[in-house]
Structure 1
Amino acid sequence: MYSSWAYSVAQVIIEIPYIFLEAVLFLTITYPAVNFYGSAYKKFPKWWVWGYWISPSSWSLKGLLTSQYGDIKEEIVAFGEKKALNAFLDSQYGYKYQDLPIIAIVLLAFPLVFASVFAYGIAKLNYQRR
């Protein structure tokens, strides 16, 4: 007999082509209907930028670089042109020194949210009920 885990994995694998087909059909019908701009760049590399904003490591890197270099006005040569270091961080990565309080709040919120979700899950979800 197959275990329920193996059956679930097989079911998910079988459904992948259907989900892909549904997504392609949806894009083919919806994009022209609502007059969206049809470029591959806007559909595939760009759509998952949200992954950057929900990643704690990206916020940590942003906070570290901004706090250490965001107020330095010494000029550096980057890509063949002279720029102040803080202007380079702003123009190249969007790291602004004024954003440090927001970065601190976000970095404090991540463990609080994860701990709250964990505590809720432990309290409310019990898979051993009979």
Structure 2
Amino acid sequence: MAVGLTPNQHLAAVISSAFYSLWNLLSGFLVQKPLIPVWWIWFYYICPVAWTLQGVILSQLGDVETMINEPMFHGTVKEFIEQYFGYKPDMIGVSAAVLVGFCVLFFSGFALSVKFLNFQRR
């Protein structure tokens, strides 16, 4: 989508790398959702990487009832995911729907930009 919205590939690379950096920082992996400051939490909710991470973790580990016996945490894997990452077990369907919405949004943005924006010079 960045390639379609910008006049050249160099500017698209700069813009997309800025978004990738912010998406990776605020995806909920390096800084977990409960620890993200209130003024940045909006960016967590519009981050496709956060929804992908949430969907993968919940689909693979969201129903595991194995006990964790570590000095920092005592409980099940399911409880750890809910406390540490802030993921609710019933959010897997919402994660899938949001990811489909992001795909439609990015595809539509690219298609519309290619159709209506013209960066050619005469």
TM-score band, normalised by shorter chain: 0.5 to 0.7
User: Could you tell which deviates more after superposition, 84-93 or 46-55?
Assistant: 46-55
Please report how far the alpha carbon of residue 77 of structure 1 lies from its aligned counterpart in structure 2 after TM superposition: 2.8
Identity of aligned residues (%): 37
Query: Separation in 2 of the partners of 1:72 and 1:110?
Result: 28
Match for residue 82 of structure 1 among 60, 74, 87: 74
Q: Please list, as runs of the form range in 1=range in 2, the aligned pairs for 1:15-30 lying within 5 A after superposition.
A: none
**Is the aligned partner of 1:53 residue 2:14?**
no
What corresponds to 1:100 in structure 2?
A: 92
Please report how far the alpha carbon of residue 129 of structure 1 lies from its aligned counterpart in structure 2 after TM superposition: 7.0
Using CA pairs under 8 Å that are at least 6 residues apart, name the structure with larger relative contact order, 1 or 2: 2
Larger Rg: 1
Q: Which runs of 5+ in 2 are unaligned?
A: 1-36
What corresponds to 1:71 in structure 2?
A: 63
Please report how far the alpha carbon of residue 72 of structure 1 lies from its aligned counterpart in structure 2 after TM superposition: 0.9
Per-residue CA deviations over 1:46-96 (Å, capped at 9, x if unaligned) read 312222222211111111111111101121135534111111111221112
Moved over 4 A (4+): none
Q: Which runs of 5+ in 1 are unaligned?
A: 1-44
Match for residue 121 of structure 1 among 96, 113, 119: 113
Please report how far the alpha carbon of residue 111 of structure 1 lies from its aligned counterpart in structure 2 after TM superposition: 1.4
Please report how far the alpha carbon of residue 117 of structure 1 lies from its aligned counterpart in structure 2 after TM superposition: 0.8
Distance 1:79-1:48 versus aligned 2 partners, 3 A rule? farther
TM-score (norm 2): 0.61
RMSD of aligned alpha carbons = 1.9
- Secondary structure, counterpart of 1:72 in structure 2: coil
Letter in 2 for 1:121: S
Distance 1:79-1:118 versus aligned 2 partners, 3 A rule? farther
TM-score (norm 1): 0.58
Letter in 2 for 1:69: L
